[in-house]
Amino acid sequence: MLAFTLRRAIQAIGVMIAVGIISFSMFRFAGDPVNQIVSLDTPAAEREAVRKSLGLDDPVVLQFARYFGNAAQFKFGVSYQFRQPVSSLLMERMPATLELAACATVFAMVFGILMGVYSALKRDTFLAKVFQAVSLIGISLPTFLIGILLIYLFAVVLGWLPSFGRGEVVRLGWWTTGLLTISGLKALIMPSVTLGLFQMTLIMRLVRAEMLEVLRTDYIRFARARGLTTRAIHFGHALRNTLVPVITVAGLQFGSVIAFAIITETVFQWPGMGLLFVQAVQNVDIPIMAAYLLMVSLIFVTINLVVDILYTVVDPRLRSTLRRPT
Amino acid sequence: MTDAVVPHPVEPSVPRPHAGSGWLKRALDSDVFYSFRRSKMTMVAAAVTLLFFLLALLAPLLAVQNPFDPAQLQLMNSRISPLWTADGQSPFLLGTDEQGRDVFSAILYGLRISLTVGVLGVLFSGTLGIILGLIAGYVGGAVDGLIMRIADVQLTFPAILIALLINGVVKSVFGNSLDAMSTLTVLVFAIGLSFWVQYARTVRGSVMVEKNKDYVAAAQLIGLPAPVIMLRHVLPNAMGPILVIATINLALAVITEATLSFLGAGMPDTMPSLGTLIRIGNNYLFAGEWWIVAFPGLALASLILAINLLGDWLRDALNPKLR
Amino acid sequence: MIEPVLSVRNLRVEFVTRRDILRAIDGVSFDIAKGEVLGVVGESGAGKSVTGLAVIGLIDRPGRIAGGEIYLSGMRIDNLPPEELRRIRGKRIGMIFQDPLTSLNPLYRIGDQLVETIRTHLNLSETAARKRAIDLLAEVGIPAPEKRIDAYPHEFSGGMRQRVVIALAICAEPELIIADEPTTALDVSVQAQIISLIKRLGRDHGTAVMLVTHDMGVIAETSDRVAVMYSGRIAEIGPVLDVVQNPLHPYAKGLMGAIPTLASDTDRLVQIPGSMPRLSAIPPGCPFNPRCAFAFDRCRVERPEPIRHGSQSVACHLYDTAATETAA
């Protein structure tokens, strides 16, 4: 168990170093860090001086080490557009994104599993076919179109929900939350559904396929031969075995939910990291892009690690093979 | 003891048609075509996909104006609602936007851009993925390890993020004022680089399987160079899965392009793709001018749905195990 | 006459496919008495396993029981509603499958699986059920059962897992156990232990056992009677010693000829030429006729019905003395 966790942790660090190199190359070679400090009309001589003082004449390896050291302390430089430290910009916006991603994931898990189980167990019913059709449309409709559609329906036509922003937020230390106010909760609904719909579709398809697979296994047949009730077989045995791979995928998906939040945040003008990133891409604000890449990678890698460990908790086979490797 | 293997069903001996004359007949006879004819949904999807490609190809003949040419746009024609509504005006079937651009014509030309980027993106990522997969599988060792490690890392990041980053980096290198054609190239490049992993993994897998077979050893023995063996003998075995991935990736590439354009990191307003049109139209939704966003959205959604349906069917048809 | 525990009458099982209807079991009849072990032997696809599944009511779509009757201690069970059939499964009929490695749910401790099954069928408290589970594990020969009960399936060897499977099958004292190739997936050294365990349980509890296998050796060691199946029909059925030493049906003869013995000094084992027909291509008349050295015209046209011949019953025209006499 420990060895396994350790191995995964080393892999994770490897990934972070790779991403760090990419991020550093972007920062160093694609954009000119000197631009962060000086204004456009600064004379060349002065620029050179700044360049020296920043250590940009040092060997690349040394510069990378310095960049990585700074990044580890969340020092990512200064944004071109906002003239503010990137880290404070990101930290300010992180709660919005994480809250949105968490709500979207919960929505996707709950409905995805329910619909998947139903369409696996009642394969030929009308409702199961409706779910299948919904899943195909969910995969085919681009996220931003779903967002636009929802806004038109619930904000423009019906006027029930706000079309943009987070509503009122409550400040808890450095964290801001929309979960404690009515307007904050209302504002969360549409973005969460928009962001979660694709994941929901994915989870539903996965649950359905896995469940059908599990229902064909010998141990389910043997459970039936033992005369267990249909309910015990479906929800005790089949569902639990189905959920093992589903947890992994859903967990890994949380990373891409954060990335896909870029789109949702743009549609709903949600003040999160994604919106900041899109604005950075549009305005070629390299420090923000590089920092976002690092932050998101860090979240991804952490989630992967957590999911791996979680997996071993759920599946006893893994636990013991890890305990005593054969 | 007498646990004899159940005899395999003997294939009915169909007389082999002569080469050249009978490939069409043979194609019509095949299992794949059989399953195609059995699924009405797939036939509709194929027809819709074909229709979209034709519309894109024939755009100059069908459109009432060239929406990319500012000289043809007249502001007095702006914000006209679709033809069948009370304020509709001929010849603007689906209405016009705020610049007097005919929505129907814009969709036709936008479709051209979207499909061009999609198809080129798929070709680029397919070629890249196949070559890297062949190299990884055939050479093995450290090269294989390196390629597959990169693939692993890339797979953890969603394609849209990678495409956005590549887009941003290219912009920062070449400045923010790329012309439309260069933007299109960048998009193809960005999408291609974000989707190669699946091809590479598939091809590598089948190279690993085929590499140890006798016919490859025989080909090596008679001195065929490795690239020839790979392309002529090993690759054809992986064509089925590659085709499936390519179809599904075409839908993904179109979505990615549309998303990038929607986010303002793709095609510019002067040469809009479907995604750009949706972004522009989105601004007028609150004013009640729904048609500017609705029709490009509908076109995009039905195009992707049709391609996805085709991809799903192809996957099932080429993989009898799933049936 | 004592009522048999299991009585199968003229059972037919069909599988509906896209092209046509395949008849996997066609007119099979047999009885198993209390405490008796019936061996069912035949090639893969002869319909042995399907017969077992039909008895316990686990034929799934696209298969279906198309005709015939199944009686359990005189009660007809083939037409019961699913819920009542479920109550019989595991309680009155226990089943053991071929592969112990895949028969147990890997995510549950074996104790949980035992307690679950016991409490489904018997009105016992959690503690009482657990105690019973430990007793069962001891009975099937699991050492230190009070410790092993909390282990997961993967922590057992194949043979031990099959013992757990057997414990699960007998946990409600069933009248009948159906064992479908219970030793095929096991090491040869373990096979004998499992066989003797099944035999002992049958004897101790007076349980009737239907032992499905393709291994004549296993049958000869365990069974009281044996049924030889071919193409979904019973070719021959009778006391195991008689059938082994004096097989009547040409197919059974071939089958017995294929058993290696130390006594005989034949250099080669006898082979039956050809292979069993696919379900979609069963020839008219006797299904064995294309491979049979003694086949005559009648065999290609008329299907042979079971004929009593001493202690055995055989479905072969060669033994239709009445017809042969009239012809002569």
Domain ranges in chain B are 48-68+91-322
Look at residue B27 in the predicted model and tell me its pLDDT: 63
pLDDT at A297 over 90: no
Look at residue A254 in the predicted model and tell me its pLDDT: 77
Q: How far is B3 from chain C (nearest CA, A)?
A: 5
CB B152 within 8 A of CB B253: no
A-chain residues within 8 Å CB-CB of C165? 222
Instruction: Write down the pTM of the prediction.
Output: 0.78
For B12-39, give the DSSP string: P-PPPPPTTTSHHHHHHHSHHHHHHHH-
**How much is the CA Rg of chain A, to the nearest whole Å?**
24
pLDDT at C322 over 60: yes
Q: Who's near B179: CB < 8 A, 6+ residues apart?
A: none
Cα–Cα dist A161/B289, whole Å: 20
pLDDT at B19 over 50: no
Chains adjacent to A (≥3 CB pairs closer than 8 angstroms) = B, C
C86 to A227: CB separation less than 8 angstroms, yes or no: yes
CB A226 within 8 A of CB C89: yes
Local confidence band at A326 (pLDDT 50, 70, 90 cut-offs)? very low
C-chain residues within 8 Å CB-CB of A223? 105
C-chain residues within 8 Å CB-CB of A210? none
A-chain residues within 8 Å CB-CB of C89? 224-227
Give the tens place of pLDDT for each residue, B296-311.
Answer: 888 999 999 999 888 8
C252 belongs to a structural domain: no
How many residues are present in chain B? 323
Q: Which residue of A has its CA nearest to B164?
A: A281
B259 to A142: CB separation less than 8 angstroms, yes or no: yes
Q: Is C245 on the interface with B (CB under 8 A)?
A: no
C-chain residues within 8 Å CB-CB of A236? 116
C275 to B7: CB separation less than 8 angstroms, yes or no: yes
Q: Which residue of B has its CA nearest to A266?
A: B263
DSSP-derived 3-state class of residue A67? helix
* Best CA proximity match to C105, nearest among A232, A238, A311: A238
Q: Who's near B99: CB < 8 A, 6+ residues apart?
A: B73, B75, B78
Look at residue A202 in the predicted model and tell me its pLDDT: 87
Look at residue B28 in the predicted model and tell me its pLDDT: 63
Look at residue B128 in the predicted model and tell me its pLDDT: 93
A226 to C87: CB separation less than 8 angstroms, yes or no: no
φ/ψ of residue A55, rounded to 5: 80, 20
Q: Per 3-state DSSP, what percentage of chain B is helix, strand, and coil (rounded to 5)?
A: 70, 0, 30
How many residues are present in chain C? 328
Which DSSP symbol is given to B223? Answer: T
Give the tens place of pLDDT for each residue, C33-56.
Answer: 998 999 999 888 888 889 999 999
Cα–Cα dist B134/B234, whole Å: 9
B-chain residues within 8 Å CB-CB of A156? 285-286, 288
B48-68+91-322: CATH homologous superfamily?
MetI-like (1.10.3720.10)
For A152-185, give the DSSP string: IIIIIIS--S-SSS--S-EEETTEEESTTSHHHH
C262 belongs to a structural domain: no
How many residues are present in chain A? 326
Look at residue A38 in the predicted model and tell me its pLDDT: 63
| Stretch (H or E) spanning B151 | helix B141-156
Which DSSP symbol is given to B226? Answer: H
Look at residue B14 in the predicted model and tell me its pLDDT: 41
Give the tens place of pLDDT for each residue, A60-97.
Answer: 788 788 877 877 777 777 777 777 888 888 888 889 99
**How much is the CA Rg of chain C, to the nearest whole Å?**
21
Q: How far is C44 from chain B (nearest CA, A)?
A: 6
Give the other-Cβ count within 10 Å of C317's Cβ.
Answer: 23
Best of B166, B261, B263, B295 to substitute, by most chain A Cβ atoms within 10 angstroms, is B263
For the beta sheet containing C307-309, the strands, ordered from the edge strand earlier in sequence to the opposite edge, are: C93-96, C176-180, C208-213, C37-41, C225-230, C233-239, C312-314, C307-309
Cα–Cα dist B179/A220, whole Å: 61
B1 to C216: CB separation less than 8 angstroms, yes or no: yes
CB A167 within 8 A of CB A187: yes
- Max mean pLDDT among A258-267, B163-172, C314-323 falls in A258-267
B-chain residues within 8 Å CB-CB of A199? none
**Cα C116 to Cα A38, A73, B306, C173, C257, distances in angstroms:** 74, 54, 48, 15, 46
Q: Per 3-state DSSP, what percentage of chain C is helix, strand, and coil (rounded to 5)?
A: 40, 25, 40
C217 to B6: CB separation less than 8 angstroms, yes or no: no
Weakest mean pLDDT among A37-51, B137-151, C76-90: A37-51
**How much is the CA Rg of chain B, to the nearest whole Å?**
24
Q: How far is B7 from chain C (nearest CA, A)?
A: 7
Beta-bridge mates of residue C230:
C233
Look at residue C309 in the predicted model and tell me its pLDDT: 85
Cα dihedral C211/C213/C216/C217 (nearest 10): -80
Look at residue C82 in the predicted model and tell me its pLDDT: 87
User: How much is the average pLDDT of C195-214?
Assistant: 88
Percent of chain C with pLDDT over 70: 93
B2 to C217: CB separation less than 8 angstroms, yes or no: no
* Structural domains in chain C (count): 1
Range of the domain at C83: 6-92+172-243
The tally of CA atoms less than 13 A away on the side-chain side of residue B31 is 8
Percent of chain A with pLDDT over 70: 91
Look at residue B16 in the predicted model and tell me its pLDDT: 43
Cα–Cα dist A64/A55, whole Å: 11
Distance of CA C14 to the CA centre of its chain: 18
Weakest mean pLDDT among A158-162, B77-81, C287-291: B77-81
C158 belongs to a structural domain: no
pLDDT at C19 over 60: yes
C259 to B1: CB separation less than 8 angstroms, yes or no: yes
DSSP-derived 3-state class of residue C225? strand
Residue with more model confidence, C307 or B178: C307
Look at residue A35 in the predicted model and tell me its pLDDT: 63
pLDDT at B89 over 90: no
* Best CA proximity match to C130, nearest among C143, C144, C117, C139: C117
Local confidence band at A236 (pLDDT 50, 70, 90 cut-offs)? confident
C198 belongs to a structural domain: yes
C-chain residues within 8 Å CB-CB of A226? 89-90, 94-95, 117, 120, 168-169
C15 belongs to a structural domain: yes
User: How much is the average pLDDT of B172-181?
Assistant: 71
Give the tens place of pLDDT for each residue, A32-70.
Answer: 666 656 666 677 777 777 777 767 777 778 878 887 787
pLDDT at C295 over 80: yes
Which DSSP symbol is given to B234? Answer: I
pLDDT at C130 over 90: yes
Local confidence band at A321 (pLDDT 50, 70, 90 cut-offs)? very low
C217 to B1: CB separation less than 8 angstroms, yes or no: yes
C316 belongs to a structural domain: no
Give the tens place of pLDDT for each residue, B28-40.
Answer: 666 666 666 667 8
Local confidence band at C176 (pLDDT 50, 70, 90 cut-offs)? very high
For B69-82, give the DSSP string: -GGG--GGGTTPPP
CB A286 within 8 A of CB A27: yes
Q: What is the CATH number of the domain that holds C181?
A: 3.40.50.300
ipTM here: 0.85
Look at residue A26 in the predicted model and tell me its pLDDT: 77
| Stretch (H or E) spanning B66 | none
Q: How far is C268 from chain B (nearest CA, A)?
A: 14
Local confidence band at B4 (pLDDT 50, 70, 90 cut-offs)? very low
Beta-bridge mates of residue C176:
C93, C208
A-chain residues within 8 Å CB-CB of B308? 136, 139-140
Give the other-Cβ count within 10 Å of B226's Cβ.
Answer: 15
A148 to B293: CB separation less than 8 angstroms, yes or no: yes
Residue with tokens 């009978």: B22
DSSP-derived 3-state class of residue C6? strand
Residues 58-97 of C with CB under 8 A from A: 58, 86-91, 94-95, 97
C192 belongs to a structural domain: yes
Give the other-Cβ count within 10 Å of A176's Cβ.
Answer: 18
Do strands C21-32 and C37-41 pair parallel, antiparallel, or not at all (unpaired)? unpaired
Give the other-Cβ count within 10 Å of B231's Cβ.
Answer: 13
CB A266 within 8 A of CB A278: yes
Give the tens place of pLDDT for each residue, B50-67.
Answer: 999 998 888 888 777 777
C201 belongs to a structural domain: yes
Percent of chain B with pLDDT over 90: 15
For A243-294, give the DSSP string: HHHHHHHHHHHHHHHHHHHHHHHHHTT--SHHHHHHHHHHTT-HHHHHHHHH
Q: Is C315 on the interface with A (CB under 8 A)?
A: no
Question: What does the mean pLDDT of chain B come to?
Answer: 79
